[in-house]
Every structure is written in structure tokens, then in C-alpha cells.
């Protein structure tokens, strides 16, 4: 589905968008000062986004018919709501396109998707140092979940725990 707001359009990504999606992911990693952690490749993205069992979906934002951002999301589940949710893994807008409503358009489309799919919430993380993003999200009415701490197992720690299961 394509939605348009003034000169901004949002569409669902297709497999031919893989180079663009990878570029946006790498640009996001650079912006978040995590480029050394980014090991995504077009081949991995092809399998995980467009393979037999897609793990996530991607929206592409364009302004004046030029791709300027993306949102990558997947479904989560709330036991308290007994309902699916939408989890926004990544949102990125190219620096030159910021302040033009692209981020708002992507989040608006994600909100529509959540409602269309009978989801109870739309959630995402933001880095603590990203004051501009935090201010923007608050302006939309989003509430920070300050009473929760995210934990992560990855790499060797994940492997060790997996090997030590009862």
C-alpha cells in the first residue's frame, strides 16, 4: 500500500529494494555510532526479509520520488493484552530529509498497520543520547518506558547459555 502526504510517499519494500535497505541500515549504524557492529548483508537480508519465513517487514519513504528513509518492523506479542503488537526495530531518515515530516509519515503508516492488524501497541527503543529523536517521539504522544531495562544475550554469552541448558 502506498500512502502520500504532500510530497512524501510510503510503500512496502520489495526484494529489488535490498541494496537501498542495506544502505539505510549502514547509514543508521553510522549515525548510531555502531558501524562496527553492523554485519548485515544483502544475502542475509534477502533470506530474512523476503525468504520463505520473513522475520520482518520494511517500509520505504520517498520525498519527491527520492528514497529518503525506511522503517523495519515485526510483530511482538503482549500477554497482558493477549494481543499482537508492532515492534519498530529501525527507523531512519536521511539527514538531508529530516524535518520534512518523513519520520512522522513512517510512524503514521506503522500506526495504521497496527490498527489494521488489530495490534494493541506500537513500540520501539531509542538511544538515551538521541535527544532529538526523544523529543520528536514525545511530541507524537509516545511515552518512554523508564521503568524497564532491556537485557540482551548475544555472541558467546548466548552460546554458553544455550549449551548449559538442563
Domains of the chain: 3-163 (3.40.630.30)
Which residue in 38, 25, 34, 143 sits closest to 89, CA to CA? 25
> Model's pTM, two decimal places?
0.91
Q: pLDDT digit string (tens) for 47-56?
A: 999 999 999 9
pLDDT given at position 4: 46
Residues carrying an active site annotation: 137
pLDDT given at position 166: 73
> Quick one: average pLDDT of 5-22?
93
Provide, rounded to the nearest whole percent, the portion of the chain with pLDDT above 70.
96
Which residue in 124, 118, 116 sits closest to 81, CA to CA? 118
68 neighbors 62 (Cβ within 8 angstroms) = yes
Q: pLDDT digit string (tens) for 103-118?
A: 999 999 999 999 999 9
pLDDT given at position 142: 95
Amino acid at each position: 500500500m502506498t500512502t502520500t502526504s504532500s510530497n512524501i510517499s510510503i510503500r512496502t519494500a520489495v526484494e529489488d529494494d535490498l541494496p537501498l535497505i542495506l544502505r539505510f541500515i549502514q547509514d543508521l549504524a553510522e549515525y548510531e555510532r555502531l558501524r562496527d557492529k553492523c554485519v548485515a548483508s544483502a544475502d542475509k537480508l534477502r533470506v530474512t526479509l523476503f525468504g520463505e519465513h520473513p522475520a520482518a517487514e520494511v517500509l520505504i519513504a520517498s520525498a519527491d520520488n527520492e528514497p529518503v528513509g525506511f522503517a523495519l518492523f515485526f510483530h511482538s506479542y503482549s500477554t497482558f493484552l493477549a494481543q499482537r503488537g508492532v515492534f519498530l526495530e529501525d527507523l531512519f531518515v536521511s539527514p538531508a530529509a529530516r524535518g520534512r515530516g518523513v519520520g512522522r509519515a513512517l510512524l503514521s503508516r506503522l500506526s495504521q498497520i497496527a490498527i489494521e492488524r488489530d495490534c494493541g501497541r506500537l513500540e520501539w527503543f531509542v538511544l538515551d543520547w538521541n535527544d532529538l529523536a526523544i523529543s520528536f517521539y514525545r511530541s507524537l504522544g509516545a511515552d518512554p518506558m523508564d521503568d524497564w531495562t532491556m537485557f540482551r544475550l548475544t555472541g558467546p554469552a548466548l552460546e554458553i547459555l544455550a549449551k548449559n541448558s538442563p
